[in-house]
């Protein structure tokens, strides 16, 4: 342990170990936790298919938070006199919540309360949260921070394939690809153990191509780096398909046998000659042609998109353009080839499958489907007509809080929207306008610091459950020890609140029983977990959904014979480039984009409290090209102000030729005056609800005062 973390001494305890998974990204690396006689917890490497014994610095240091001095171990209540959060009993905290919920629902009705979840919650907790919102609170207003992560790729996958699974093939396929195209992905910093597959791919003689406005750590390893203007990836994709058509690299037999709608796409990309794409994106024609040749002439080809392509107001169409390219080349379902998306959050895949999305019920069922409603209501033991209808996507939900027609109370589990939401200062004001804000967390995040009630929850090593990684592989998270005295699991919190609210269904607190119920609720849905059991997971390295029967096979690879559409055919969709929601101008002449750094994770609530990670990445920064810095009169390390129409951030300048001279970058892991999302645009994709995190117009100014 480091940085003052004091492990609890537990005399007489013998060391014990448990095989589990990292609490951070969707790679869900295998690890072993060992608890010593002193109570100190050590992370040990474990062989697992996704990471093969490797861990990044975040994984190695994950156990330091278990006994961190800032760990929450008692409920906190806002004192009406002083305005401060003060320790309280569980009864007092839960009674305050129930009284507040009943008060705000008394007039307007159930929709006066909203629920906001997280992509790091286990499958069991995500399922229980959706069930709680719709049966105990009976509100339609539930969504989660995964809407900010993979929603555009999910919508594009549903549009083209009829199903959304990030990787429809095992991760190991990356290592055998002859050509691998990464679009807006920087796994060298976001999920470092994945890089060994990229290294293996290149050592085999494969070609790695990276599309990114920055020369990232991943792009430095590539054979070819395309550096487009932010927001122009769709034009690049259409130009690549244009070249493939011109050169005869389209797999006509595959297109005829396994797809529909190609002719409309062929006509639409006819206008995207390479020179036009170069003029728009800045990517040279020669690089476009080299990329198209590498994709069109290799045997095993994989195209992957990630947040750089997806976090736009046209993110669904951008991903669709790359799906069109993959389908035209005959990749999905072909052995060793395919299209996929690199899911970000730890349970980003499972978290959106079982009920915390605004429009979905467990099993990835649509909430407006009468048959789906009947099935799930039957499992829950409530009339289908009592289930609310669809809610609204995350940003619309957050932006409606405290307004005359919006929810007056919000329950937050596993999220920190004060840092992670776009136009964050506005969302912070919305949270302050609520009659009741409840946050369940194990550390006092920026969002929890605003709450009326804070509930201390268990950490990942203190509870059992399941996670679904970026491959669609369902894994077991195993508890090493009990939560500290005074701390409860999310399942226990939801069960107690449901009982106090006199909810009709039962809410088990045992995650094994919750997962068994989840299996029944998901049965027959697109994400069918009916045949996935804890015992079956324990007997293997996880189980891939869909897995509809106990004794039937699971599905590591999708689309071998058919797609998940009514006729089994994949759908092409013509898509056209359109400008960013906000273009540069004289007052805001620069493009602003956001992303991550290696040592920090998401809103930084956890990683900013780990000493080794703070040393590696202690503060936010603003990355500027030296040419831009010279024009501004800014030296490396000097403070600058990045200003947009919505707000500003302040941080030291970091000069780097990795960024385009017309673009400014900042990581989004910090709050306060360095909060990148004070600047970002809240324009959203009309299909997915994804905000435009990756591009907006800004100006950069020197900060002369201290």
pLDDT digits (tens, 9 = 90+) for 99-154: 999 999 998 999 999 999 999 999 999 999 999 999 999 999 999 999 998 899 99
What is the residue range of 445's domain? 76-143+355-460
Which DSSP letter does residue 408 get? S
Cβ 135 vs Cβ 385: under 8 Å: no
Residue 40's CATH number = 2.20.25.90
Which residues are registered as beta bridge partners of 339? 303
**Which whole number is the average pLDDT over 574-580?**
97
pLDDT for 628-648, tens place per residue?
A: 999 999 999 999 999 999 999
477 in a structural domain:
no
Peptide bond into 546 cis (omega under 30): yes
- How many other C-beta atoms can be found within 10 angstroms of the C-beta atom of residue 433? 13
The CATH number that applies at residue 681 is 2.40.40.20
Q: Which of 595, 609, 680 is closest to 644 using CA atoms?
A: 680
Q: Are residues 202 and 325 in the same domain?
A: yes
CA distance to 69, 214, 670, per residue, from 665 (Å)? 33, 9, 14
Backbone angles phi, psi at 453, to 5 degrees: -135, 130
Residues 247 and 371 both lie in one domain: no
d(CA 689, CA 87) in angstroms, rounded, equals: 38
Cα separation of 302 and 341, whole Å?
10
Q: How are beta strands 30-35 and 41-45 bridged, if at all? A: antiparallel
Give the span between the Cα atoms of 651 and 694, in whole angstroms.
19
Do residues 292 and 166 share a domain?
yes
User: 381 lies in a domain?
Assistant: yes
Contacts of 369 (CB under 8 A, 6+ apart): none
Number of domains in the chain: 4
pTM exceeds cut of 0.75: yes
- The answer as to whether 101 is a domain residue is yes
259 closest CA partner among 310, 322, 354, 324: 324
Query: Is 474 inside a domain boundary?
Result: no
Burial pattern 154-182, b for ≥16 Cβ within 10 A else e, equals bbbbbbbbbbbbbbbbebebbbbbbbbbb
Final residue belonging to a domain, choices 341, 370, 395: 341
Q: What is the pLDDT of residues 413-429, one digit of tens each?
A: 999 999 999 999 999 99
- Average pLDDT on 659-665 reads 97
Helix (H, G, I), strand (E, B) or coil at 395: helix
Question: Which pLDDT band, with edges at 50, 70 and 90, does 441 fall under?
Answer: very high
Q: Is the pLDDT of residue 7 over 90?
A: no
Q: Which of 314, 341, 368 is the last residue of a domain?
A: 341
Which two three-digit tokens encode residue 617?
């990445």
Domain CATH number, residue 99: 3.40.50.740
Of 217, 211, 223, 209, the closest CA to residue 189 belongs to 217
597 part of a folded domain: yes
Q: Please state the rounded mean pLDDT for residues 447-465.
A: 98
pLDDT tens by residue, 245-288: 999 999 999 999 999 999 999 999 999 999 999 999 999 999 99
Residue 234, pLDDT > 60, answer: yes
Does residue 598 fall inside a structural domain?
A: yes
Same domain, 88 and 58: no
Res. 4: pLDDT tops 50:
no
Say whether both 130 and 187 belong to one domain: no
Q: Are residues 155 and 110 in the same domain?
A: no
Q: How confident is the model at residue 39 (pLDDT cuts 50, 70, 90)?
A: confident
Q: Which of 40, 65, 90 is the last residue of a domain?
A: 65
Whether residues 189 and 295 fall in one domain: yes
Q: What is the pLDDT of residue 384?
A: 97
CB 691 within 8 A of CB 146: no
**Which pLDDT score, from 0 to 100, does residue 15 have?**
74
What CATH number is given to the structural domain containing 331? 3.40.228.10
Q: Please check whether residue 529 lies inside any domain of the structure.
A: no
pLDDT band for 344, please (50, 70, 90 cuts).
Answer: confident
Which residue shows structure tokens 């990030």? 166
Q: Each residue of 127-137: pLDDT tens digit?
A: 999 999 999 99
Q: Which residues of 648-659 are buried (b: 16+ CB within 10 A; e: fewer)?
A: bbbbbbbbbebb
- Per-residue pLDDT tens over the stretch 611-633: 999 999 999 999 999 999 999 99
One domain, residues 335 and 368? no
Is 645 found in the same domain as 607? yes
Kindly tell me if the per-residue pLDDT of 223 is higher than 70. yes
User: pLDDT tier at 37 (50, 70, 90 boundaries)?
Assistant: confident
What pLDDT, on a 0 to 100 scale, did the predictor assign at position 38?
86
- Residue 378 in any domain: the answer is yes
- Does the pLDDT at position 691 exceed 90? yes
The tokens for 259 are 């797809």
Q: How far apart (Å, rounded) are the C-alpha atoms in residues 642 and 247?
A: 45
Same domain, 189 and 121: no
Query: What's the pLDDT at 14?
Result: 67
**Same domain, yes or no: 620 and 698:** yes
- In a shared domain, residues 157 and 285: yes
- How many other CB atoms sit within 10 Å of the CB of residue 704? 7
């Amino acid at each position: 342990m480091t940085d003052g973390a004091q492990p609890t001494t537990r005399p007489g305890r013998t060391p014990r170990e448990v095989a589990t998974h990292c609490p951070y990204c969707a790679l869900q690396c295998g690890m072993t936790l060992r608890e010593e006689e002193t109570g100190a917890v050590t992370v040990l490497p474990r062989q697992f298919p996704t990471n093969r014994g490797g861990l990044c610095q975040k994984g190695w240091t994950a156990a330091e938070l278990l006994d961190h001095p800032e760990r929450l171990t008692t409920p906190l209540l806002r004192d009406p006199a002083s305005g401060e959060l003060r320790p309280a009993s569980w009864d007092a905290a839960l009674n305050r919540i129930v009284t507040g919920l009943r008060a705000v629902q008394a007039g307007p009705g159930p929709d006066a309360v909203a629920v906001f979840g997280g992509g790091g919650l286990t499958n069991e907790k995500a399922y229980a949260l959706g069930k709680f919102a719709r049966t105990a609170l009976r509100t339609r207003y539930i969504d989660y921070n995964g809407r900010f992560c993979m929603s555009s790729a999910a919508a594009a996958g549903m549009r083209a394939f009829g199903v959304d699974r990030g990787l429809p093939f095992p991760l190991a396929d990356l290592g055998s690809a002859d050509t691998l195209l990464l679009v807006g992905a920087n796994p060298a910093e976001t999920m470092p153990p994945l890089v060994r597959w990229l290294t293996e791919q290149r050592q085999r003689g494969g070609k790695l191509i990276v599309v990114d406005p920055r020369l990232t750590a991943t792009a430095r390893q590539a054979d070819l780096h395309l550096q487009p203007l932010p927001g122009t990836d769709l034009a690049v994709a259409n130009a690549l398909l244009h070249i493939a058509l011109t050169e005869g690299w389209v797999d006509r037999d595959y297109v005829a046998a396994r797809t529909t709608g190609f002719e409309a796409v062929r006509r639409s990309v006819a206008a995207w000659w390479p020179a036009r794409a170069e003029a728009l994106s800045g990517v040279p024609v020669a690089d476009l042609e080299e990329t198209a040749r590498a994709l069109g002439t290799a045997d095993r080809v994989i195209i992957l998109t990630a947040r750089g392509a997806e976090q736009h107001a046209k993110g669904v169409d951008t991903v669709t353009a790359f799906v069109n390219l993959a389908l035209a080349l005959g990749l999905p379902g072909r052995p060793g080839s395919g299209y996929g998306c690199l899911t970000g959050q730890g349970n980003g895949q499972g978290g959106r499958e079982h009920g915390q999305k605004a429009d979905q019920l467990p099993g990835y069922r649509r909430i407006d489907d009468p048959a789906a409603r009947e099935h799930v209501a039957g499992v829950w033991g409530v009339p289908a007509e009592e289930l609310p209808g669809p809610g609204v996507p995350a940003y619309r939900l957050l932006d409606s809080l405290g307004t005359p027609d919006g929810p007056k109370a919000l329950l937050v589990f596993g999220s920190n929207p004060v840092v992670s939401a776009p136009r964050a200062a506005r969302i912070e004001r919305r949270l302050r306008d609520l009659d009741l804000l409840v946050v369940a967390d194990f550390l006092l995040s920026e969002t929890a610091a605003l709450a009326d009630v804070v509930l201390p929850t268990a950490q990942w090593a203190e509870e059992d459950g399941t996670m679904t990684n970026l491959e669609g592989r369902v894994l077991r998270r195993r508890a090493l020890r009990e939560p500290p005295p005074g701390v409860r699991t999310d399942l226990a919190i939801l069960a107690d609140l449901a009982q106090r609210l006199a909810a009709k269904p039962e809410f088990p607190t045992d995650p094994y029983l919750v997962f068994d119920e989840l299996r029944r609720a998901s049965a027959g849905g697109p994400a069918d977990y009916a045949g996935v059991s804890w015992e079956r997971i324990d007997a293997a390295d996880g189980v891939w959904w869909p897995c509809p029967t106990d004794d039937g096979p699971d599905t590591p690879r999708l689309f071998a014979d058919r797609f998940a559409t009514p006729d089994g055919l994949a759908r092409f969709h013509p898509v056209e480039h359109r400008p960013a929601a906000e273009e540069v101008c004289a007052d805001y002449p620069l493009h602003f984009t956001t992303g991550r750094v290696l040592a920090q994770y998401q809103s930084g609530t956890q990683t900013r409290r780990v000493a080794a990670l703070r040393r590696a990445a202690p503060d936010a920064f603003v990355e500027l090209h030296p040419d831009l810095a010279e024009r501004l009169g800014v030296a490396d390390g000097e403070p600058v102000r990045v200003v947009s129409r919505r707000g500003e951030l302040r941080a030291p300048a970091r000069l780097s030729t990795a960024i385009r001279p017309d673009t400014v970058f900042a990581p989004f892991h910090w709050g306060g005056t360095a909060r990148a999302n004070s600047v970002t645009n809240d324009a959203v994709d009309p299909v997915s609800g994804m905000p435009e995190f990756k591009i907006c117009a800004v100006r950069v100014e020197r900060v002369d005062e201290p």
